[in-house]
A and B are shown apart, each in its own frame.
Chain A
Amino acid sequence: MKLLRELRAEGRQQDMGALVARIPYARFLGIQVDRKGTELTTILPFRQELVGNVTLPALHGGAIGAFLEFTAVIQLLFDDECVRLPKTVDISIDYLRSGRPVTTYGRAFITKHGRRVANVRAEAWQEEHDRPIAIAHGHFLLDPVDEDG
């Protein structure tokens, strides 16, 4: 994939902020990535375009789901260089609390990292980390660099 090749060539293969800045849908959602050592936190600042219910108001479940999917994929790309973006095979999202109109944070944990497929868990929270608004787990197909490129 050209995008990942370019980042590798620039020595920025672990610069996930540079990656999301080049993906139109991530830019549309406004996703940012914070890195502290090897720990990544994805950030979704509140924007009116993310609202699903104007009365409560609450974030759209689809925006939260997409954010969790990005969180999982970014963690996979950070941990291992890939030729292509990991492909989502399936994702299961549990909605625990209403997403309020504030910044949302995300973190992903790789439950199992196989050669071709990874099982990833991701969580999203707002002010309090121990009160997640949604959790997800999914399977992702991988194309590691050392295999064919």
Chain B
Amino acid sequence: MSDDRSGSRTPPDNIGDHLSHVPHAAAIGMQLVEYRDGACVVRVPYAEHLVGDPDTGVIHGGVITAVLDNASGMAVPRADLTPAQRAIATLDLRIDYMRPARPHEDLMVSAECYQLTRSVAFIRARAWQGEDDVTVASSVATFMLGANRAPPPGFLGADDRPQTAGQEP
């Protein structure tokens, strides 16, 4: 799954194939392109089942939502966290859509952590396309650390939402 052409260092805890173990990410076709602790780049090849407007072939905004969410979760820095803290939950995700994605082109998402406290990670992300680096959407998200009572093994993504989320912010 990891298509690491960037020369970035080997991700910890098999993060490289993390996306292949997330059924929804795999169904959308997300691929991890770059990774370092606190930042990542994910690619989604254009596919017919992602289309939101059959007239134009433009992919649906919900696809962008899913990729921004997933990439943002993977950008939560993990190197200095305890295994318990690595269980994260999305608290909120706000997305601004700048322009429709161009059909028949890969969609790229870059995410980075810009602030980390003991219990919360603040992540911004950008969805873009092409050599001309056109911004399609941008997002900010907050993730609660140590949120999950039943952490899965290995890498914990944006999708690891605990039963307790929202009850103890």
Contacts and interface: CB of A to CB of B under 8 A. Distances in A.
7 contacts: A1-B55, A56-B152, A58-B161, A60-B25, A90-B95, A95-B161, A96-B165
Contact of B152 (A2, A55, A67, A93): A55
B169 to A, nearest CB: 11
Interface string B3-34: 00000000000000000011111011000000
B91 A95 contact: yes
A25 B63 contact: yes
Interface in B18-74: 21-25, 27-28, 48-55, 59-63, 65-70, 73
The 6 closest A-B pairs by CB, nearest first: A62-B66, A66-B62, A52-B159, A55-B152, A60-B24, A25-B60
Contact of A91 (B65, B148, B152, B158): B65
A69 B161 contact: no
Question: Which of A56, A62, A87 counts the most chain B CB atoms within 10 A?
Answer: A62
Given A61-B159, A69-B65, A50 B94 contact: no
* Majority secondary structure of chain B interface residues (helix, strand, loop or mixed): mixed
Interface residues of B, number: 51
B95 A48 contact: no
B114 to A, nearest CB: 18
Interface in B154-169: 157-163, 165-166
B153 A55 contact: yes
A65 B159 CA distance: 12
B116 interface: no
Given A54-B152, A87-B97, A92-B95, 4 more contacts: A26-B60, A51-B24, A52-B22, A52-B158
B96 interface: yes
Nearest to B62: A66
